[in-house]
Chains A and B, each alone.
Chain A
Amino acid sequence: MATPYSHDWRAVCEKFNNAQYLTEVESRKDPENDPFRSKYKARELLREIYCSLKNFDVGENENVTEADQRPKEQPIDGENDGRFGTGHCGHSPAGSRAAKLGAVEYYLGVNHVETEELSAGEEHLMNCMTFLEKCSISSENVSLFIQVRNQLGILWAGRDETEKAQGFLETAEAMYNRYMKEDGHPPMDITEFFVAEEDSLPEQERTKRFEMAYTHTLYYLAQVYKNLGLFEKAGSYCHSTLQRQLEFNQFIPLEWAINAATLSQYYITKSRYMEGRHCLSAASVIAGIAGEVPSEAASQENEAEAEKRDQLRQKRAEIARCWIKYCLNLLQDAKKLLEDNIGELDVDRQEELRAARRREEEEKERGRKNAVLFGSSDTFDSICSLEEKVSCVFPLDFEEARAIFLFGQTYVNQAREYFEMDGHVTDHIEIVQDHSALFKALAFFEEDLERRCKMHKRRVDMLEPICKDLNAQYYLLICRQLQFELAEIYYEMMDLKLAVANKQDDLDAHTVKKFNHLCSSSVKFYQMFLDSVRSPEGKWPEKLEDEVLRPALVAKFRVARLHSRFISSSPTVQLENLNRSLECYDFVVQYCRDNPEAKSAIETELELSEEMVSLLPLKMNRLRAKLASSN
C-alpha cells in the first residue's frame, strides 16, 4: 500500500480533487450541446485512480476480487445481516484498500448515473457493495456503506422497483442506528479516502456530513413509503426528516416552515391534533426567524426587498391559514362528538366525555413523550410556549370552544392582511368562508338562542356583500357556495326565532315581520342558487349535473318548506304560499320519478316530499272551504 506521503499517493489525491471540482463546479458551465463534458473528464480521472489503486502493493495473503470480473452473487439488501464484525477490520491494509476501491467504484457509479448511463452506474455501485463485503463497518467506511445504498435506492426506485429500493434504504437506516449505538464517533467522510492526512476534516464537519447523508436516507424512505401507499409511515418519516433538518441546522427557514405547516394538515385530517399543533407551532416559530419583513417603503425602492417582503408575508399568511383549519377542525370534530340526532348539544355525552378526558390526561403525558418533538437548542422553548396558547383536546363547553375560536380568529385577521380581496379574490373568500365556519361551530356550543342567532347574523354580514359583488361567470362555484350557505344561515336563524317565539305566549307584529323576513331571505338565496343551474336562456336542465344534483333538490325542498312556514293572517295569502310550497314538493317528487338514479341522493327529503304532496292538497281544501264560508 502506498504510504500517505508517497509521491504516487499524492498524485492520486490530486486527481481525486480535480475530479470533484469537475463534477461539482465545472459541470455547471458545460455547454447545452455537450452537457456532460466535465463529467466525462472526471470519469477518466476516476478510472486512472482506480488503476493506480489496483497497482499498489497488496498485503501477502490478501486476495481481492477483481472488480472487472462481475461478482457471481450480487449482494442484495433487504434484511440486515450482521456485517458488523465480519470481514476485515477497517484498519487492516487489506480492509482499507478494499474500502478505497469501493469508494472509487461509488464515485464512478454516481458519475454514470448522472450522465444517464444507468446500467453502467448500477454495475459500479454493485462493485462498491462487493468491495464492502470484505470490510466490517467502522468509522472509516460507515458513510460509504450508507451512501452507496442511498444511491442504489434512488436508482431502483427510478426503475419502478420500489421494493428493491426499500431494501437498500432500510438497510442503510439499520446500519446508521447500529453504528450510532455501538461506536458513534464522528465517522470519516467519503471524500476523505483520497486526502492527505493533514487535510482531513474537523470532527464537526464529519458529523455534519454523516448526519446529512442519513437525513437523505430518511427523505428517500419517506418517498418510497409514499409510493408504496404506506401513508402513515411516510408521514412519520417526513416528520423525522424535518426534525433532523432542524436539529443539525441544515434547512432553509421558510421552506422548512411551509413543509411543517403542510404536515400539520396531514395530522388534522387524521384528527391528530397534538401532532398538528406541534407542527404548526414549530412552523410559526421557524417562519419567525426567517427574517424581518421589509417595510413597504423599502420594497418600493428595491426589487430584492420587494421580493423578500412578498415571500415573507405570503408564507406567514399561509401558515396562518393552516392554523385556522386547525381550530376549525378541532371545533367541528368536537361538535360531531357532542351532538344528538337533531344537532343539539347532548348533555349526557358531554358528561361522558368530561370523565373520559380526566382519565386520559395522565395517559396523554405519556403519549406526548412518544411523539418526535421538533426543536433545536435555540427554538425548542419558543415552540413549546406557543403550543401552550391553544388546546389540542376537544372543547366540551362554550368557554373552551370560545378560546379555540378566538385563537382561530386572530389568524383569520392575520391571513386577510396579506390575502386582500383585490388581487387575491379566491384566497380571500376562502378565509372569510372559514371565518364563517368558525362562527357556525362556535354557535353550536352557545346555549342562549338569541345570542346564537346573533352569531349567525355575523356570518350573514361577512358573506352577503361578497356574494353580491362577485362575478358568477368567473366564480360560479364560489357564488353557489355562498348562496347556499347564506340560504342555510337564514334558514337556521328562522328556526331559532321560531324556537324563541314558541317560548312566548303570543307573537307580536314585530316578531312576525322579522320571522317572515328571515324566511323570504332564505328563499331568495336558495332561488339564486337554483337560478344558477339554469341555462343562459333561463331553461331548467333536463338532467341535473352530478355536482349540483343533491344541492339543487335540497334547495327546492327547503323552498317548499319555507313557503309553508310564512305567517299570514290572510287565508288568501296562506293559500298562495301553500300552493307555491306544493309546486316545489311536486318538483322534487317528479324529478325523482323521471330520474330514478337521483333517489339515493335525497332519500329522506324525497320521502317527506311525497307525504307533503299527498297532505297539502287536503290542507288547502280546508282553507278554501273556510274562505268560501266566510265570504
Chain B
Amino acid sequence: MTAKMKELTDGSMQQQQGPNSCDSDSIKVFVRVRPLTKGTGLTTDGDKGQCLTVTSTNTILLNSKPEPRPFIYDHVADMETSQDSVFSIVAKNIVESCVNGYNGTIFAYGQTGSGKTFTMLGPSDSDNFTDDLRGVIPRSFEYLFYLINREVERSGNTKSFLCKCSFIEIYNEQIYDLLDSASASLFLRENIKKGVFVEGAVEKFVTSAAEAYQVLSMGWRNRRVASTSMNRESSRSHAVFTMTLESKETAKEVVNIRMSQLNLVDLAGSERQRDTHTEGTRLKEASSINLSLMCLGQVIMALVDVSNGKSRHICYRDSKLTFLLRDSLGGNAKTYIIANVHPGSKCFGETLSTLQFAQRAKLIKNKAMINEDTQGNVR
C-alpha cells in the first residue's frame, strides 16, 4: 500500500451536515378558472367584476389591493380550457403510471360553485360517456381500461388485470362506507404488505369504464342520501374513491404480481375550511366545559422545532385523510391537485383562500428522510 493510500484510508472525516434535507416535488398543482355564469342562480350571477387574470400557463394574478398579487403553479387554465386538455395535463400521466404499477392521486379542491363537479364529473344531466363535456373521472376510467386492454393484447394474454373499487367518506374524523350505507364508522389500519387501508370497506370488482362509473355514481348518491338523513353536509366531508389495480404476468413459469392504486379525492369545500386551524392568528378560546383547553396541545406542537434534526415524537395523530393518503403526499406516488376558482369579484375571499391552499399544498414535503451518520466512517 502506498503512503498516499494509507493516508486516505486512515484519514478522518469532518462532520457533514446531518440528515440531508428533502425537497420532494411530487405534488403538482393545476388551477382552473371557470367561466362567468348567467342564470344559474349562483350569487355571482351578473357579477361583471373579475378578481383575477390568467397571465400565462402557470401564473395567475389576483387583483388585490394595493397591488395585484401573482401566484405561480404547475399549470393555470383559463376559462377557455377544454375538458379534454384538463384530462391530458392532469390525469393522463397518472393513469399511465398506474397501469405500470405506480400509485396515483388526484385531488379536487375549491368552493361550492367554482366548477369542481363539472371538472371532475362533467355536466350533471349527461350519461358521461358520450358527452364532449365529460369530466376528468370518466375520461380517466376510459383511458385506464383502454390501456389495460392494450396491455393484455400486447402480451398475448400472458398478462391479466383485476380491478376493484372502494368509495369512502371522511366526515368529522369518522369514516363511512359509501358503497354500504348501512355500515357504522370504519377504522384505518396498516399492513406490512398492503400499506394503509380502511378495514371492512366494501370492494366492488369492475371490468369496464362504465361499470366503474356506475359504482362511483352509486356512492355519490349515497353521499347525498346520507347528508340529508344524518345531518351530514357533503360540502364538509372528504370523499375518497379508490381503484386498486392488480396485474399478473406469467412469464416462463414465474408469476409477477403488481399492485397499484388510483385515488380520486373530493376535498371538503374550501368555504368550510374556516374551522380548521389554517387561520393563522385567531386565538383558540377555552371550551365551555372549562376543563379543557382543547388546543393547548397544538400551541405546544408548534413550538417543537423540527428543523434541528433532533429526534422527537409528536403525540397528535395525523388527520384520517392525510393518514390514508400519506403515500400520495410526497411519497413515491404521482399526485395532482386541481384547484377550481371562480373569477367573480364577489368570490375574492374564497378565491384567495383556495389559491393559498394550493400554494401550501406545494410545500407538503416528505418529512421522513434517510439519516446517515457520516462521522468517522472513512477510516
A395 at the interface (CB under 8 A from B): no
Known: A216-B286, A339-B375, A470-B192. A536 touches B310 (CB 8 A): no
Q: Are A549 and B20 in contact (CB under 8 A)?
A: yes
Q: Are A268 and B376 in contact (CB under 8 A)?
A: no
Q: Interface digits, A549-589 against B, CB 8 Å rule (1 contact, 0 not)?
A: 11100100010010000000000000000000000000000
Q: Which of B289-342 contact A (CB under 8 A)?
A: 290-297, 299-305, 308, 310-316, 326-327, 331-332
Q: Are A547 and B303 in contact (CB under 8 A)?
A: no
Min distance, Cβ B28 to any Cβ of chain A, angstroms: 15
CB-CB < 8 A to A201: which residues of B? none
Min distance, Cβ B194 to any Cβ of chain A, angstroms: 7
Min distance, Cβ A29 to any Cβ of chain B, angstroms: 14
Q: How far is the CA of A605 from the CA of B335 in the complex (A)?
A: 35
Q: Which of B245-283 contact A (CB under 8 A)?
A: 259-260, 280-283
Q: Are A238 and B300 in contact (CB under 8 A)?
A: yes
B113 at the interface (CB under 8 A from A): no
CB-CB < 8 A to A481: which residues of B? 368-371
Shortest Cβ distance from B370 into A: residue? A551
Q: How far is the CA of A430 from the CA of B72 in the complex (A)?
A: 36
B24 at the interface (CB under 8 A from A): yes
B230 at the interface (CB under 8 A from A): no
Q: Are A477 and B368 in contact (CB under 8 A)?
A: yes
CB-CB < 8 A to A546: which residues of B? 20-24
Known: A160-B281, A474-B195, A604-B14. A547 touches B20 (CB 8 A): yes
Q: How far is the CA of A220 from the CA of B295 in the complex (A)?
A: 10
CB-CB < 8 A to B8: which residues of A? 608, 611-612, 615
Q: How far is the CA of A318 from the CA of B301 in the complex (A)?
A: 14
Q: Are B303 and A158 in contact (CB under 8 A)?
A: no
Q: How far is the CA of A605 from the CA of B292 in the complex (A)?
A: 54
Min distance, Cβ B125 to any Cβ of chain A, angstroms: 29
Q: How far is the CA of A547 from the CA of B367 in the complex (A)?
A: 10
Shortest Cβ distance from A415 into B: residue? B313
Q: How many A-B residue pairs have CB under 8 A?
A: 226
Q: Are A475 and B300 in contact (CB under 8 A)?
A: no
Across the interface, A266 reaches (CB within 8 A) one of B23, B285, B300, namely: B300
Q: Interface digits, A312-325 against B, CB 8 Å rule (1 contact, 0 not)?
A: 00010011011011
Min distance, Cβ B305 to any Cβ of chain A, angstroms: 5
CB-CB < 8 A to B327: which residues of A? 474
A413 at the interface (CB under 8 A from B): no
Q: Are B379 and A262 in contact (CB under 8 A)?
A: no
Min distance, Cβ A89 to any Cβ of chain B, angstroms: 31
CB-CB < 8 A to B313: which residues of A? 265, 318, 321-322, 324-325
CB-CB < 8 A to B24: which residues of A? 545-547
Shortest Cβ distance from A160 into B: residue? B281
Q: Are B100 and A536 in contact (CB under 8 A)?
A: yes
Across the interface, B377 reaches (CB within 8 A) one of A321, A491, A548, namely: A491
Q: How far is the CA of A339 from the CA of B21 in the complex (A)?
A: 24
A425 at the interface (CB under 8 A from B): yes
B204 at the interface (CB under 8 A from A): no
Known: A341-B12, A536-B100, A554-B374. A262 touches B281 (CB 8 A): no
B366 at the interface (CB under 8 A from A): yes
A410 at the interface (CB under 8 A from B): no
B35 at the interface (CB under 8 A from A): no
A222 at the interface (CB under 8 A from B): yes
Q: How far is the CA of A547 from the CA of B379 in the complex (A)?
A: 26
Give B residues with C-beta under 8 Å from A.
2, 4-5, 8, 11-14, 16, 20-25, 100-103, 189-196, 259-260, 280-286, 288, 290-297, 299-305, 308, 310-316, 326-327, 331-332, 366, 368-379
By Cβ-Cβ distance, the 9 closest A-B pairs, closest first, are: A343-B376, A474-B195, A425-B190, A547-B22, A546-B23, A318-B315, A476-B332, A550-B20, A342-B376
- Other contacts beyond A220-B283, A474-B194, A477-B368: 19, CB < 8 A: A241-B293, A262-B301, A339-B375, A342-B12, A342-B13, A471-B195, A474-B327, A476-B332, A481-B368, A481-B370, A481-B371, A485-B371, A546-B21, A546-B22, A547-B20, A547-B369, A604-B378, A615-B2, A615-B4
Give A residues with C-beta under 8 Å from B.
24, 153-154, 157-158, 160, 162, 165, 212, 215-216, 219-220, 222-224, 226-227, 231, 234-235, 238, 241-242, 245, 250-252, 255, 258-259, 261-263, 265-266, 268-270, 315, 318-319, 321-322, 324-325, 328-329, 332, 339, 341-344, 421-426, 434, 437, 466, 469-471, 473-478, 480-481, 484-485, 488, 491, 495, 536, 545-551, 554, 558, 561, 601-605, 608, 611-612, 615, 619
